[in-house]
């Protein structure tokens, strides 16, 4: 199997200013192609360090993929380090230059002089077309080894990676894919899920990983064939209540919600307090959500709850804004206001302040009106304000999705 290393070049990553999402993209695409990453590195955009690191990688790996430092400005030195490493000169590539000129013509903006250096590439390197920017990718191969230098800007890197890097690697390396499938769960703590499925884990011959995130837990099953995985998955599914499984692999609660709502042919609306608009924002992240989502209300203050949703002052006084009675009146209020079929309402304490012994930070009431009518749950979420908001939003969307 090919040994592949990914090297990100950029001080911005090392000083923590940028989160390197390219690593995750490259990792995902290589894994799907059956030629997963062996390791990855991040190094400074210093010409000497780049040269030394790449020299080391070129010696120990079959494939070296570099991103970053290909731009036209003074801190872009990757191309020069590559020339030194492989002992090549830069030469002017007129096909690259034509592509750059054409791109500027299309955009109808003047072409800065500095951009012309982008057409200079190391001799014997193949330029890889850049659909979204001016810096071409650079590809070199020798002794069955493969070297790629790609732009660091994610949108430029991604299309180049999919269209050029993956095909070259697939042509040169026979893939020995490791299969995997993930069960995505919500509403059961990791430790309970682990204990409940201990038997299944013990009988499985291959690797199983538990991956908790945002109050949800993924169970990932690895194997050497799809059949082997399916057998283990089937055993897991017998041990976990189906209402706690929201999907497989890359399925998300947002997508499940979207599909369920489209299929239901019902309209919905939401009344949000502690989530402050997040539920509706997640719903409208889905293109096509206007088919079922009418809009709704962020009833952050008590006044808004009363005025827009008709929550009774006496309810707020007697039970408080964070109570079963209040969310019930909120959901009925937003249904009447918007004239929708289904609805969601939430009220809780996102923190960090505002908690009491009776009603601690993280206490959230979620009410959904779906196929079988009202469902009200009392939840205790842990985490920061932002995490409590997100857990509330996803739990609420899931609660409605399984009742449509």
Identify residues 233-292 at the interface with a second copy (CB under 8 A).
Answer: 270, 272, 275-281, 283-285, 287-290
Applying CB under 8 A, does 18 fall inside the site for a second copy? Answer: yes
Q: Which helix (H) or strand (E) holds 166?
A: helix 166-172
Q: How far is the CB of 294 from a second copy (least distance, A)?
A: 5
Q: How far is the CB of 91 from a second copy (least distance, A)?
A: 25
Q: What is the DSSP letter of 134?
A: S
Tokens 């038997």, residue located: 199
Closest by Cα among 177, 176, 180 to 221: 180
Q: Which helix (H) or strand (E) holds 285?
A: helix 278-285
Q: H helices within 15-93, ranges in order?
A: 21-32, 47-60, 78-86
Q: How far is the CB of 89 from a second copy (least distance, A)?
A: 27
Q: How far is the CB of 92 from a second copy (least distance, A)?
A: 21
What is the C-alpha separation between 88 and 127, in angstroms, rounded? 14
Binding window for a second copy (CB under 8 A); candidates: 156-164, 209-217, 228-236, 258-266: 209-217
What is the C-alpha separation between 53 and 21, in angstroms, rounded? 21
Cβ burial, residue 372 (10 Å; 0-12/13-18/19+): exposed
Structure tokens at 125: 């390197």
Applying CB under 8 A, does 93 fall inside the site for a second copy? Answer: no
Q: How far is the CB of 217 from a second copy (least distance, A)?
A: 12
Q: Which helix (H) or strand (E) holds 9?
A: strand 4-9
Applying CB under 8 A, does 28 fall inside the site for a second copy? Answer: yes
What is the C-alpha separation between 275 and 272, in angstroms, rounded? 6
Q: Which is nearer to a second copy, 85 or 321 (CB)?
A: 321
Structure tokens at 142: 């020798």
Applying CB under 8 A, does 352 fall inside the site for a second copy? Answer: yes
Structure tokens at 223: 């194997």
Q: How far is CA 33 from CA 26, 37, 166, 171, 355, in A?
A: 11, 11, 8, 11, 49
CB 178 within 8 A of CB 149: no
Q: Which is nearer to a second copy, 30 or 66 (CB)?
A: 30
Q: How far is the CB of 157 from a second copy (least distance, A)?
A: 14
How many positions of this chain bind a second copy (CB under 8 A)?
A: 85
Applying CB under 8 A, does 25 fall inside the site for a second copy? Answer: yes
Site for a second copy in 33-92 (CB under 8 A): 36-44, 49, 53, 73, 75
Selected from 105, 112, 225, 243, the binder of a second copy by CB under 8 A is 112
Selected from 1, 142, 211, 263, the binder of a second copy by CB under 8 A is 211
Site for a second copy in 371-390 (CB under 8 A): 383, 385-386, 389
Burial annotation 334-353 (CB, 10 A radius, 16+ → b, else e) = bbebbebbbbbbbbbbbbee
What is the C-alpha separation between 290 and 377, in angstroms, rounded? 27
Q: How far is the CB of 42 from a second copy (least distance, A)?
A: 4
Contact characters 301-340, a second copy, x per CB under 8 A: x-xx--xx----------------------------xxx-
Q: How far is the CB of 120 from a second copy (least distance, A)?
A: 19
Applying CB under 8 A, does 14 fall inside the site for a second copy? Answer: yes
Applying CB under 8 A, does 24 fall inside the site for a second copy? Answer: yes
Selected from 220, 235, 259, 266, the binder of a second copy by CB under 8 A is 220
Selected from 1, 19, 162, 263, the binder of a second copy by CB under 8 A is 19
Selected from 67, 78, 118, 299, the binder of a second copy by CB under 8 A is 299
Closest by Cα among 65, 85, 90 to 5: 65
């Amino acid at each position: 199997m090919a040994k592949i290393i990914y090297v990100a070049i950029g001080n911005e990553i090392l000083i923590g200013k940028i989160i390197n999402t390219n690593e995750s993209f490259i990792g995902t695409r290589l894994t799907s192609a059956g030629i997963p990453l062996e390791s990855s590195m991040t190094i400074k955009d210093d010409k000497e360090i780049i040269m030394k690191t790449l020299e080391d990688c070129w010696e120990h790996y079959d494939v070296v993929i570099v991103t970053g430092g290909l731009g036209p400005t003074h801190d872009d030195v990757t191309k020069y380090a590559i020339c030194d490493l492989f002992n090549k000169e830069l030469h002017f590539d007129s096909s690259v230059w034509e592509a750059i000129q054409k791109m500027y013509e299309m955009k109808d903006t003047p072409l800065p002089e500095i951009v012309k250096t982008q057409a200079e590439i190391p001799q014997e390197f193949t330029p890889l077309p850049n659909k979204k920017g001016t810096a071409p990718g650079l590809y070199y191969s020798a002794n069955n080894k493969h070297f790629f230098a790609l732009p660091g800007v994610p949108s430029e890197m991604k299309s180049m990676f999919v269209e050029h890097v993956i095909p070259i690697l697939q042509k040169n390396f026979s893939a020995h894919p490791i299969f995997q499938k993930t069960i995505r769960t919500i509403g059961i703590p990791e430790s309970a899920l682990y204990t409940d499925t201990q038997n299944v884990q013990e009988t499985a011959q291959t690797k199983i990983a538990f991956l908790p995130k945002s109050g949800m837990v993924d169970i990932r099953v690895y194997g050497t064939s799809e059949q082997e995985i399916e057998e283990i998955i089937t055993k897991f599914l017998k041990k976990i209540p189906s209402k706690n499984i929201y999907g497989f692999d890359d399925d998300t609660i947002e997508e499940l919600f979207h599909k369920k709502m489209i299929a239901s042919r019902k309209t919905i609306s939401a009344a949000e307090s502690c989530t402050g608009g997040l539920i509706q924002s997640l719903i409208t992240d889905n293109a096509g959500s206007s088919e079922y989502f009418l809009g709704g209300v962020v009833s952050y203050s008590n006044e808004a709850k009363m005025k827009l949703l008709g929550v009774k002052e006496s309810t707020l006084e007697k039970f408080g804004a964070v109570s079963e009675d209040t969310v019930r009146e909120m959901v009925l209020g937003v249904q009447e206001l918007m004239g929708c079929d289904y609805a969601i309402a939430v009220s809780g304490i996102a923190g960090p302040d505002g908690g009491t012994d009776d009603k601690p930070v993280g206490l959230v009431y979620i009410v959904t009106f779906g196929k079988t009518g009202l469902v009200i749950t009392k939840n205790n979420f842990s985490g920061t304000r932002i995490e409590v908001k997100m857990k509330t939003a996803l739990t609420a969307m899931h609660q409605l999705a399984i009742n449509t």
